[in-house]
Amino acid sequence: MNSPLVEIDFTGWEQAHSRPEWTAAVEDGKVLYFPHLAFMVQPEETPLLREDMLASGSRNVSLGADAVLKGAGGSAGDQQKLATMIGRFRQQALQLVDGLLPEYKGKLRVAPTSFRPRQVETRAQSVRADDQRMHVDAFPSRPTYGERILRVFTNVNPQGAPRVWRVGDSFETIARKYLPHAKPYSLWQAKVLNALHVTKSLRSEYDHLMLQLHDLMKQDDDYQKNGTQLTMPFPPGSVWVCYSDQATHAVMSGQFMMEQTLYLPRGGEVNHQASPLAILTRLVGRPLAGVGEGSAR
């Protein structure tokens, strides 16, 4: 397996600049890794790096574009400091992406920024929801119609513990392996799910196939144990960027991470033919149902 990681030696957020090979790499499903690009937690923010900053029943803390903080525990003062810290990371993540991937300027939609204080290893989840199993991101309730999921991550663990990932085969390799086992798409079932509000919009054939790949990968115990993959411990003081709908990955351990999600419209890539939508369309041999529709999210 060619390395799924591309190391880039930025030491400051303002240093971000582009190279065609970096854009090509991330659009090919590789993870861009910045080992010396640290997000600096301020001394007054260090006490916020504790698990009870997550409210009971919440999976993550998130800061919306409207500056509203959701899912946070702690006092009102703690929450105000936390919102400031998360907002500063968002500004730096956007600065990084603007410099690194200038071709996307004016195209990206900014999602809420998250702070994840929970210990990964202690989460009890079903097989389909378990992100410790290799997968590509796909969402049962949120059809994307080929809209891309670009994520910027940073580890802020104060004890020095890494955020350990496994990174695996290319998207096309995975698609060729599991597409023969995918259940066929049913438009009437998609309409029923939409009518019952199980999905937020009509699930397209593309979204159906992405969910099939996601589930089949996670359910394949042999692949999880023996599939081609690289274990990568991302240390505190590092950043990594990838298309999580294309990079095959699993999150094995770690605590205290921040993440910025950005959505790129279908066809907004530099190389349209490298996208999961283009790959699946080529492998299936026909236009995928629903491709002509816009995202309803």
The pLDDT tens digits for 185-211 are 999 999 999 999 999 999 999 999 999
> pLDDT tens digits, residue range 68-103?
999 999 999 999 999 999 999 999 999 999 999 999
Question: 55 is in which domain, residue-wise?
Answer: 5-284
| Residue 290 pLDDT grade (very low, low, confident, very high; cuts 50, 70, 90) | low
Does 153 map to a domain? Answer: yes
pLDDT score for 208: 96
Q: Tell me the pLDDT tens digit for each residue of 240-254.
A: 999 999 999 999 999
Considering the domain boundaries, does residue 11 fall inside one?
Answer: yes
CATH number of the domain residue 48 falls in: 2.60.120
Q: Give how many domains the chain has, as a whole number.
A: 1
DSSP string, 119-165: -GGG----TTT-TTS-B----SS---TT-EEEEEEEE--TT---EEE
Q: Which pTM was predicted?
A: 0.94
What is the average pLDDT value for the chain, to the nearest integer? Answer: 93
Is residue 291, in this structure, part of any structural domain at all? no
Query: Would the pLDDT of 292 be above 70?
Result: no
In a domain, 181, yes or no: yes
pLDDT in tens, 5-44: 999 999 999 999 999 999 999 999 999 999 999 999 999 9
Does residue 27 form part of some domain? yes
272-287 residue pLDDT tens: 999 999 999 999 998 8
Angle, CA 293 vertex, CA 291 and CA 297 arms, to 5°: 115
Give me 194's structure tokens.
């939409």
For residues 259 and 113, the answer to whether their CB atoms sit within 8 Å is: yes
DSSP state of 15: G
The pLDDT value given to residue 294: 37
Residues 144-154: what's their mean pLDDT? 96
